[in-house]
Homo-oligomer: A and B are copies of this chain.
């Protein structure tokens, strides 16, 4: 029996598990501390009423033999795939049969690697959402980093001297909050098409883009359909972190090694997955109704308001940051040259506020810190007041 030895090469703990553990330890030692969590990118606002109603209606259908639903389609119900396709209208031309519904973007971003060989070179931004790195280490792929820093506005462009096979792009970026322009994304699309590479485009935060000139989908870029897979989620768009639903787009025109990647992914999903809960899919479809879009916008606006409160306080403190405008994330310089985990401990101990250490997202994140705009308004205001009282 041989275990997967690559597991020895990944860090013992997943970043957010570390943050949760440290926070729990602090809480145990300081039972009276009123801890405010602006760390893990978890939403706090309740689901939109039309989503809740749609899910309860689906529950009732499951209680009646005449409307009961067993196994659904491996790629999701047609009503939801069509609603997602319609969501792209006016921005990109995606058809319902290029869409796969899943239990969340994280599952798809990880599992999509099953269709690619271990013999590929992966290009990953640094800092980055840890899943891109850890999943590739588990498979034993060669990894090259492209650094995101203030000198490139946290938005690196292709390095033609590097031969990449799989390229991760997250825009709006987690953790930096930076958003690619169409021109910059077009450079990556050109590079990928010329180098037989695949872009895995993580669009999980696209709903936070308010600037109409910024692309919310990679398919807004000409040529993307022959080089890009896009993964999106209801988690941040509609507060589904605990409901679990996302989707992946694989254009029918996307082939590599003589195979349609759509067909490979369909084979992967039909073999290793049995679809998403009917109840959840009904809730997800409700997001795209007129009421649903209005209701989720109110929540996104609320989070944008939180981001403004945080960034204005950082402005007042003279702390530099990226993001916070077209993104729920604020990526700030730790004050006084503190390390990321040093600032984490300092903030937890002195303000009882939890953030995420930048170094957990990669070497280039050392000395940085991520705050999220997902909190409740009064808690965000309280956190900001506490931070303002600190002496840096």
Contact A271 B114 (CB under 8 A): no
Contacts of A44 in B (CB 8 A): 65, 68, 70
Contact of A55 among B104, B270, B273, B279 (CB under 8 A): B279
Contact B65 A49 (CB under 8 A): no
Contact A243 B17 (CB under 8 A): no
Q: Interface residues of A, CB < 8 Å — how many? A: 81
With A2-B257, A244-B275, A259-B7 already in contact, the answer to whether A52 and B42 are too (CB < 8 A) is: no
Contact B5 A117 (CB under 8 A): yes
Alpha-carbon distance between A280 and B59 when the two chains are bound, in angstroms: 10
Chain A, residues 248-289, CB within 8 Å of chain B (1/0): the string is 000000001101010010011011111111111000000000
Q: Which residues of A from 1 to 26 have beta carbons under 8 Å from B?
A: 1-5, 7-8, 10, 12-14, 17
Which among A7, A56, A242, A267 has the highest number of chain B CB atoms within 10 Å?
Answer: A242
Contact A277 B70 (CB under 8 A): no
Which among A45, A116, A272 has the highest number of chain B CB atoms within 10 Å?
Answer: A272
Q: Which residues of A from 54 to 81 have beta carbons under 8 Å from B?
A: 55-56, 59-60, 62-65, 68-72, 74
Contact A59 B52 (CB under 8 A): yes
Contacts of A267 in B (CB 8 A): 7, 10, 12-14
- A43 contacts the other chain (CB 8 A): yes
Contact of A107 among B46, B68, B134, B273 (CB under 8 A): B273
Contacts of A70 in B (CB 8 A): 42-44, 239, 241-242
Top 10 nearest A-B pairs by Cβ distance? A110-B272, A2-B117, A42-B70, A69-B242, A3-B257, A70-B241, A52-B63, A14-B270, A242-B278, A1-B165
Instruction: Give the B-binding residues of A (Cβ under 8 A).
Output: 1-5, 7-8, 10, 12-14, 17, 40, 42-47, 49, 52, 55-56, 59-60, 62-65, 68-72, 74, 103-104, 106-107, 110-111, 114-117, 119-120, 130-131, 134-135, 138, 165-166, 196-198, 239, 241-244, 256-257, 259, 261, 264, 267-268, 270-280, 376
Please give 13 more A-B residue pairs, beta carbons under 8 A apart, in addition to A62-B242, A103-B277.
Answer: A1-B196, A4-B114, A44-B68, A70-B239, A103-B103, A107-B274, A114-B138, A138-B268, A138-B271, A241-B274, A243-B277, A244-B274, A244-B276
